[in-house]
Amino acid sequence: MGFLATLSFWDKIWMALGLAGLLLLLIRFHFKLARKEKDALIRIDRFMDTRMTGQSDNHPCAMDHDSQCLKWKHPDIGMFYKGYVEPYTQLLRRIDALDTVVDLLALLDAEGHCPSIAGRGHQHGPADKPADLEASRWQSVRHNAYAILHENVSLREHSLNVASMVVEQRKKGGRDFQMELGRLLIVSLGHDIGKIPGKSKGHAAKDHCMASRDVLDGMLPADYPSRDEILAAVRDHHFSSASGGALLNHLKTADHKARQMELKKYGCEATIAPSFFKTAASHPTKPDRASQKPRYASVDLSWLELSQLLQLVAARINVVEKGKYEAFSHAGMVYVYPRLLAQCACHLAMQAGRMEVVAHMATEEKMEALMYAIRKALEEHVPDKLIGAGYIGRKFQIASGNGDCMNPGFYLPLKISAFTPASPSEIEKRKQGVSLLQSIQSVSIYYPDS
């Protein structure tokens, strides 16, 4: 105290300012240290993700899709991304399509150098040994048509040709093409993805359509709105017996035009009639159920208390976070994302020590099996005639009071009475002040192109 007493008023002011400056420097150093620690944790997380998924740090999916440093090995992939994806990244992210589109481009960038028409067993086999049904038909058109396509047109080139044509022909239909952009890009980029060597596992070499469908099945989010329509279009794009909507027709037309263009580019002037692309179905559209494997593997839920599961789900009904919801109520029904049911079931499984159930969250195929098992367990609460046997849920169209329609969503509808002791009035009360939910006026079954 004696030292301070000897200081003048201004000396004390300068000393206080000096101490304040020192304090600010210490605070700044602390935040810089914290930032470095956070960046290090992010790098560790990315490294762990890489170890688990097999993707390297320069894989496009490991980067920010909006970043200018997103790199592609092949210029044609980069040009396609810049023309058809980059201008719509926010839209594609909002409709949950961006990751799948970038994953498909990354797969084509890494492994799309294989022929666009398969040789023996979908490998880089001799061009005079077509094994795939499509390849055999090409060889029947003109003696060198198959060889030209096999030797000159890679799967990457053909997929980009089809995708650009699908988008361009849909653009001619009006500005609303952007609302369909996600499913257009996914179905066109993925329609032949099963031709990549090793991707046709479990399928005969003569059925690249089914192989492509199954590869895409593992890449699409389980609750993606157009999931079933996309997979059906990929499966049926070479079969005349298939009756599909606009998406399938867009794909068939673009595939036809792309092949015509590719043949002309490499000196083959053969004119291919559109009917050429409509081969007779090599697999029945309605397989014999007695000989068909179950669609989903069975999951033992005998330990699960459904009341506890429904209680966890009830807490999420009409709850909006960051502009999104996982379940909402309307007209005596609760429409639930099946993924929410799976997450709640896994939470209870961890408490019960049923780690074999928790493991079902590891892959989309296993998660779908779990979601289907839950749907079967809740059978009495599922409204009659809304969800067919063998299905997890279905797409519903949500309309607001002014007539605007939101993107169709994939839901499992449950009777609101299933969520007792939570009362319907209590559940509805949560909508107060939430315009996103209050604006919902109708929910109806979604029919494509209706």
pLDDT by residue, tens only, the chain of 450 residues: 566 666 677 777 777 777 877 777 777 766 555 554 445 444 434 433 433 334 444 444 444 454 444 689 999 999 999 999 999 999 899 888 999 999 999 999 999 999 888 654 444 444 444 445 555 555 545 556 777 788 889 999 999 999 999 999 888 876 667 888 999 999 999 999 988 887 755 444 446 788 888 889 889 888 888 888 899 889 887 765 445 578 888 898 898 889 888 888 877 655 555 544 444 444 444 443 333 445 788 999 999 999 999 999 999 999 998 888 999 999 899 999 999 999 999 999 999 999 999 888 888 888 899 999 999 999 999 987 778 777 898 888 888 877 677 778 899 999 999 998 888 899 999 998 888 888 888 888 876 643
pLDDT at 71: 80
CA-to-CA distance for 139 and 149, rounded, in angstroms? 10
Domain boundaries, given as residue ranges, for the chain: 72-276, 306-445
Assess contact for 360 and 370: CB atoms under 8 A: yes
pLDDT at 291: 35
List alpha helices for 175-238, DSSP H. 177-190, 208-219, 227-236
pLDDT at 55: 43
Q: Is the dihedral of CA 45, 49, 51, 52 positive or negative?
A: positive
DSSP string, 34-81: HHHHHHHHHHHHHHHHHHHH---TTSGGGS-TT-TT---SSHHHHHHI
pLDDT at 97: 92
Assess contact for 219 and 234: CB atoms under 8 A: no
Assess contact for 61 and 102: CB atoms under 8 A: yes
Sheet (strand 333-336) strand order: 327-330, 333-336, 409-415, 394-400, 440-445
E strand or H helix at 24: helix 9-53
Cross-strand partners of 398: 443
What SS3 state is found at 131?
coil
Assess contact for 106 and 189: CB atoms under 8 A: no
Tell me the residue type at 311: Q
Tell me the residue type at 183: R
What SS3 state is found at 173?
coil
CA-to-CA distance for 390 and 214, rounded, in angstroms? 18
List alpha helices for 81-176, DSSP H. 89-94, 98-111, 133-141, 145-152, 155-171
| Residues 216-236: b if buried by 16+ CB within 10 A, e if exposed | bbebbebbbbbbebbbbbbbb
Contacts of 57 (CB under 8 A, 6+ apart): 46, 47, 50
Cross-strand partners of 335: 328, 413
- Angle at 158 (CA atoms; ends 155, 161), nearest 5 degrees: 150
E strand or H helix at 311: helix 306-314
pLDDT at 397: 86
- Residue 68 tokens read as 């200018």
